[in-house]
Structure 1
């Protein structure tokens, strides 16, 4: 926390406000500069980095700046100068006050010391002995277990989190092959599609370390879209942008009750949605055989019976009967 306090002071916060912003950082992310949470709803967005700077309300802040603690505090100072601390919900709801004592101590310590860029703050960045930067803005780890520790909390709360890692850096850096499955850009994966894939046994490539799908596009592949009113329990729901997904567990009038793994809600939740898309299992269309266009043969009218032939038959039968009678005298 002392290093975060130093970043706050260097960004321009005075001591009193530095205490507040550091307390906010710990209330928002626990001091994790890689924290990333997805917000569903009317304006889908991401809360990014140690200060959880929102990608919708503050789109001017790049992912690189949001996930870098130095620039994150600089951006936070700019936001504070324009709008105060009310941009952070943990300030408006008072959650930050739980961390004020620790933040005050950290700011007092940081005021009399300084850190060099070469230092790696253990409270903000992972231990360099077990991790290394990879793929531009991600972190790779020496072991699978170490990578698992950094799987987002809401993914852990949804279950199936131990396989939410890749060892795709083994050729670039054999000492740090593992990382948490990424999302888009510098973000970590959210886990919503991964949870659906485990529930419905959907495997795909790329997938988690057990082969289950990890993207929304993968879990709806091969399914057909139907109107919400035609959706049924067990179908897959996605938002309109197909960036979030879940499984339909109840169908109402023009709305669906969906179970989904939500970063915004911190785990596995059930929510009513009146918008979005519904994806049902695809069924083979029935092909109707068209009526034949070939000319049908005309019916042949039955022939009139041959009266002479009939008469001959009866005469033959009569002769046979007379012969049999003669045998018995």
Structure 2
């Protein structure tokens, strides 16, 4: 019998909310967010471009620390680390990316800054989302993308040339981002093995073990094993082969790391117990 489809042992522990109930909760949350009106940042400086670079954001930070002690929203900064990692930032560029996002928006995906006229944007412009992507200088980044955490991170990755050029960001040029480097490093450290921010974990429900594979399906090679009751880190999810067994049959596969066995790869989500639907907890791979 394929261990990807083994019958469950006694589930025990916490169970996820029923996905229908979770859907109703998410609808309520989305409805509430849709009614919210983003705040407005201070006006833009006279010049946005630096050394001829097209700016990513041109305004002042959407949120500026009131003192030398920077108060960090742990959920927000971990979100920036999570989506930054998923976008492709690694090592010190990831730390810088998180620090820049904290300086720009306090890692608030709904943050918006309103700017007056700048060179090339005579009608003013808006800086949007986590990395405050400007709508005039980067019109291909739609509002839908800009206010989506992962899409905004992907845009920041492209604009920064993979983290090698931060001059398009005003808070980098002013040095404000440096106030957040220590907190950013701590958030990156929390990613842990497999890139799991803020301790997003799951419990293995397949007995006696579950295959960990190179891709999201049983046709992919087995790269390792994780055992019943093990706690694994979950970095992202994707869709692949439908698995009909387990507790929540679906085509969702989670990218996991088992700290005990060292196995890293994909495992069928139906055999992994998480507090909520994994798709609401981690980004797509």
TM-score between the two structures when normalised by the length of structure 1: 0.35
Q: Which has the higher contact order (CA 8 A, sep 6+)?
A: 2
What is the TM-score when the length of structure 2 is the normalising length? 0.40
Q: Larger Rg: 1 or 2?
A: 1
